Amino acid sequence: MTNVIDLKSRRQDQAIDFASLSTLFAHGRRAKDDVFWLKENAEWLGILANMDADKPRDAIAPYEEIYQDLAAKISFFPQYYRFFLSLCLDLEDLGLRGDQGAILCHWVDRHQFARAELSDLQRAEAERLLARRICVRRDPSLQDRLENFISRSMTFALPNKKAAYELAHIVFYLADYGQQDPRLSDAAHISLDNAGLLAFLDQDADLLGEICAAKRLAGEVPDKVWESFVCQAHNDCRMGHIGMASSADGYHTYLVSGWLAQMTGRKAFERAIPAGKVAIHAPAAGNGALRGLSQALFDYGRGRSADWGKMRARLIATMPEDGQAILEAAERSTYRFDAFFEGFSRAADNGNGLIYQ
């Protein structure tokens, strides 16, 4: 899992109907006063802007009227400034004529909205957005904190989806989505491996898609089993008619898995799009081996060992057949599985009086 690749995605000409996809997200799913409309359209345009493919002019045509209203919207809803800035900058970078991006960046910088962010991840996103149009004073301590976070690899050997998503997004920002080498530490690469193993064990295509994309932007080729699973999930996404998209909608899995599929040179975003309001159904996470593996380890109590070689046969025997196959595939996907298991087992505290009396 350490093969070095070019930072740029592999170019592939595909029969992707970009205009229909943009129309779907801009007009075919949610009301424009819904914050989830902002979120998914910012995500779609971000992927579109960073996708290595020829994109026709009509890919952004559905957003022309929306672009004209961005200044009014951001001034009335400044709490969503990152979404509005992202939409604006990506539309301009995709070819929409206008200079609102620089104007809005200066306005956001003048009001110092980034200083109101509690999260380092959100501050990093704000810095990256502003730097796309204006000169901003970077906070060197912010980068130090981000690198310290992603280099604590043991954090990512335990199930914590929020931390794993933040890991992937920090790598996206450090890599500027493929425009530069993020120069990750060895420990940060291990963090990506750990987070990817947990996502694969959980059969979570959405999270694993982000981890695989982050690994590629960091110059690594993820294991083929991981990427094949994510790309199959993209093929398994379905679109159907609804009155309105729901919070359980699978659009994010569809976007992330399609982005990764396109990165790897596979077909992506080719599914026919129904007319009218559309829901996207994606395979559910949590149908893998992770829960059963965790429960078996917990049940062992003091008998739990951090040595994968000692625990392997006993743990595999507790799993159903499909869980066994997933666990064995995870084991084969990296030479680091033993080291990952040492942290995942949580065996170091056995008998120290903190848990067992």
Nearest CA to 200 out of 261, 288, 324 is that of 288
- The C-alpha atoms of residue 78 and residue 158 are separated, in whole angstroms, by 36
Average pLDDT along the chain: 91
The residues with which 239 forms a beta bridge, in sequence order, are 280
State residue 352 phi and psi, 5-degree precision: -90, 5
- The C-alpha atoms of residue 235 and residue 285 are separated, in whole angstroms, by 15
Task: Work out the angle between the directed axes of helices 161-174 and 205-217 (0-180°, nearest 10).
Answer: 30
Nearest CA to 290 out of 318, 317, 323 is that of 323
For 34-58, how does the pLDDT look when each residue is reduced to its tens digit (9 = 90+)?
A: 999 999 999 999 999 999 888 998 9
Nearest CA to 199 out of 237, 239, 167 is that of 167
- The C-alpha atoms of residue 219 and residue 295 are separated, in whole angstroms, by 35
Nearest CA to 150 out of 192, 213, 209, 211 is that of 192
Q: What is the pLDDT of residue 33?
A: 87
Q: What is the pLDDT of residue 177?
A: 95
The residues with which 278 forms a beta bridge, in sequence order, are 241
- The C-alpha atoms of residue 231 and residue 209 are separated, in whole angstroms, by 8
pTM over 0.85? The answer is: yes
Lowest mean pLDDT among 159-168, 249-258, 278-287: 278-287
For 110-143, how does the pLDDT look when each residue is reduced to its tens digit (9 = 90+)?
A: 999 998 899 999 999 999 999 999 998 888 899 9
**β strands within 175-316, DSSP E:** 238-241, 278-281
DSSP secondary structure of 301-337: GGG--S-HHHHHHHHHHHS-HHHHHHHHHHHHT-TTH
Nearest CA to 1 out of 308, 259, 219 is that of 219
Q: What is the pLDDT of residue 277?
A: 85
pLDDT of 351 over the 80 cut: no
Report the length, in residues, of the chain. 357
| DSSP letter, residue 5 | -
Nearest CA to 282 out of 320, 254, 257, 322 is that of 254
Helix, strand, or coil here: 56? coil
For residues 283 and 253, the answer to whether their CB atoms sit within 8 Å is yes
Amino acid at position 31, single letter: A
Q: How far is CA 340 from each of CA 26, 221, 261, rounded to the nearest angstrom?
A: 42, 19, 26
Lowest mean pLDDT among 64-73, 237-246, 327-336: 237-246
Which element (helix H / strand E) includes 71?
A: helix 70-76
Q: Which two tokens stand for residue 41?
A: 């359209």
For 134-189, how does the pLDDT look when each residue is reduced to its tens digit (9 = 90+)?
A: 998 888 899 999 999 999 999 999 999 999 999 999 999 999 999 999 999 999 99
Q: What is the pLDDT of residue 304?
A: 93
- The C-alpha atoms of residue 183 and residue 193 are separated, in whole angstroms, by 16
Q: What is the pLDDT of residue 300?
A: 93
